[in-house]
Structure 1
Amino acid sequence: MVTRKEKREMEKEVNYLFELLKTQNHFFKNLNKLLKDVDDPRHQSYITYDTEVLLMMVILKNACNLKSMREMTNEFNKEECIKNLGKLLGNEDLEELPHYDTINDFLARVNPAELERIRIDMIKKLFKKRCFDSYRINGEYWGIAIDGTGIFTFDKKHCEHCLRRVYKYTDKETGEEKTKTIYMHHVLEAKLIVGNMVLSVASEFIENESEDVKKQDCELNAFYRLTARLKDTFKKLPICLIADSLYACENVLKQCKANNWNYLFRFKEDRIKSIAD
């Protein structure tokens, strides 16, 4: 068993920038070009930092397990970090890094399809390299887990696409029955399972078309949109869909069979059941 001291000593000898460059050159040689080619919606005359700088900072933030954009700005505001990012991007003239407000402003404006294109390209390259083949289910199927998650909750309406949930409660002071409306944003994620890692392969927001809809969007409706895109993107990929019991219904099974997908469902008893043929 490796002690914490031994682990620290081992890490001292690792050149993390070299390892990152080696990984990028092996799997994602065109990553810098993909980041640079993202359609920039900002006014061109006010641009200081190109898209590849903004997006690579976010990639490195997640790779370094930094929890917030503010923390990223603080931790990366070092000469060594600026120099290393310049090496990653092949931009030796890089002298400063953008503030997180600049990055947030860009991300709020950029077309999500531009970033989706990069993710799809990277996932397909991993499949092509066959580096995860040993994690296939029964040596054949790629396990892709589908699940919804909440990302934001508000006491007041955030936008016309918010989901709404009304709670009834009793006022402790007056004893009156009251209601409270919570506004939310949820997303449905499809994640490729490879050992103890999960890689996001597709996302579908669960949101209302407008605030006056009679029936709100839901996880199942988002599922049909998500899986249609999955099939269109990865046409011949043998998939084993992994989901909870919410999806164990006739329409879901029909869609899986139409796509030639296998399927596994987790029930409340915490055991995995396969009801595929």
Structure 2
Amino acid sequence: MVTRKEKREMEKEVNYLFELLKTQNHFFKNLNKLLKEVDDPRHQSYITYDTEVLLMMVILKNACNLKSMREMTNEFNKEECIKNVGKWLGNEDLEELPHYDTINDFLSRLNPAELERIRIDMIKKLFKKRCFDSHRINGEYWGIAIDGTGIFTFDKKHCEHCLRRVYKYTDKETGEEKTKTIYMHHVLEAKLIVGNMVLSVASEFIENESEDVKKQDCELKAFYRLTARLKDTFKKLPICLIADSLYACENVFKQCKANNWNYLFRFKEDRIKSITDEFQALKNMEEEEGKKANVVKIRESEQRGEITWVNDIDYRGLGVNVFECEV
């Protein structure tokens, strides 16, 4: 058993920069080249640091678990760090690292498609090296989780693309009914699940085209845009989508079938009533007849439960399998 003190001593002997560089050279040999080829939107006559330096700074910031851009500038502004980054990038003439204001200005102008291209290249290299094959579902399908998340919330309108949500509340002092509008920015993420890690493979912003739209953008609308890009990018990749009950609907089922994808969706009883009713009817029928053919008992050291399933429930021409587990 290694004590915490012994672990700290062992970590002192690890050259983390070397380990990170070794990982990059094994999986992503052309990463520096890709970073250097990013289309720079800045005025060329005012450029001091090229795209490779700016983007590598952000990568190292995240790899070092630094929480802010300001902290990155403070921690990296050391002779040893400047020298190491210069060696990493093959730029022995590097004398200073860019300030976080310079990096933020660059990122605010950068076309996101430039970074998307690099991410796709990296993910495809991991597939090609077959390093995650053991994590395929049934040895065949790649599990990709789809979910939306909020990234910013504002009390006032941030831009014309903001999503809006109106809340009703009662004023504590006057008892008057009032409303409050919250402005938000959300994104829909597709993440490849490999063991206890997730790797982002695609992102789609959930945002309004303009502030005067009659119907706001939503997670399901973004889903169809995201899956179209996924299919176009990974044309032959065997995918199993994993998502919450929002996606348990006819159009999503059809989209998966058209793309030749499997899916595992959480299912709430009130999501599609006909499926719920048939599942319960077939389940009750077996219990009454004493068959219980599609039931497995769970008997583990600290858990007891029961797994029940019904296959090929017809839903508008689609065969749906329902699986219930009570622990």
Q: Deviations over 1:45-99 (max 9, x none)?
A: 1111110111001111111111111111111111121111112111111111111
| Residue 266 of structure 1: how far off its partner (Å) | 2.5
Distance 1:57 1:272, change over 3 A: farther
Contact 1:265 1:273 survives alignment (8 Å): no
RMSD after superposition: 2.5
Contact 1:264 1:274 survives alignment (8 Å): no
SS at match of 1:268: coil
Q: Deviations over 1:31-50 (max 9, x none)?
A: 01100000000111111111
Structure 1 consecutive aligned stretches of length 4 or more whose deviation exceeds 2 Å: 266-275
Whole-angstrom distance in 2 between the partners of 1:270 and 1:77: 56
Contact 2:248 2:271 survives alignment (8 Å): no
Q: Which has the larger radius of gyration?
A: 2
| Residue 272 of structure 1: how far off its partner (Å) | 17
| Residue 3 of structure 1: how far off its partner (Å) | 2.0
Within-5 A mapping of 1:17-56: 17-56=17-56
Deviates more, 1:17-26 or 1:152-161: 17-26
Distance 1:268 1:58, change over 3 A: farther
SS at match of 1:274: helix
Whole-angstrom distance in 1 between the partners of 2:195 and 2:66: 23
Distance 1:271 1:239, change over 3 A: farther
Deviates more, 1:72-81 or 1:188-197: 72-81
Aligned residue pairs, count: 275
Deviates more, 1:233-242 or 1:21-30: 21-30
- Corresponding residue for 2:105? 105
SS at match of 1:39: coil
TM-score, L = length of structure 1:
0.95
Contact 2:245 2:271 survives alignment (8 Å): no
Whole-angstrom distance in 1 between the partners of 2:164 and 2:4: 47
Whole-angstrom distance in 2 between the partners of 1:19 and 1:269: 49
Within-5 A mapping of 1:125-274: 125-267=125-267
Distance 1:24 1:250, change over 3 A: same
Contact 2:248 2:267 survives alignment (8 Å): no
Contact 1:267 1:273 survives alignment (8 Å): no
| Residue 167 of structure 1: how far off its partner (Å) | 0.7
Distance 1:251 1:56, change over 3 A: same
| Residue 104 of structure 1: how far off its partner (Å) | 0.8
Provide the identity percentage: 97
Deviates more, 1:10-19 or 1:263-272: 263-272
Unaligned runs of 5+ in 2: 276-327
Distance 1:274 1:66, change over 3 A: farther
Distance 1:271 1:218, change over 3 A: closer
| Residue 13 of structure 1: how far off its partner (Å) | 1.8
| Residue 22 of structure 1: how far off its partner (Å) | 1.1
SS at match of 2:273: strand
- Corresponding residue for 2:124? 124
Deviates more, 1:228-237 or 1:169-178: 169-178
Q: Deviations over 1:109-165 (max 9, x none)?
A: 010100100000000001111111111111111110000000011111111000000
Whole-angstrom distance in 2 between the partners of 1:242 and 1:273: 21
Whole-angstrom distance in 2 between the partners of 1:273 and 1:185: 32
Whole-angstrom distance in 2 between the partners of 1:171 and 1:226: 41
| Residue 25 of structure 1: how far off its partner (Å) | 1.0
Whole-angstrom distance in 2 between the partners of 1:116 and 1:37: 13
Whole-angstrom distance in 2 between the partners of 1:141 and 1:4: 39
| Residue 271 of structure 1: how far off its partner (Å) | 15
Contact 2:248 2:266 survives alignment (8 Å): no
| Residue 17 of structure 1: how far off its partner (Å) | 1.6
Contact 1:263 1:274 survives alignment (8 Å): no
SS at match of 1:199: strand
Q: Deviations over 1:220-255 (max 9, x none)?
A: 000000000000000010111000010011100111
Whole-angstrom distance in 1 between the partners of 2:22 and 2:267: 42
Deviates more, 1:211-220 or 1:64-73: 64-73
| Residue 2 of structure 1: how far off its partner (Å) | 2.7
Q: Which structure ranks higher in relative contact order (CA pairs < 8 Å, sequence separation ≥ 6)? A: 1
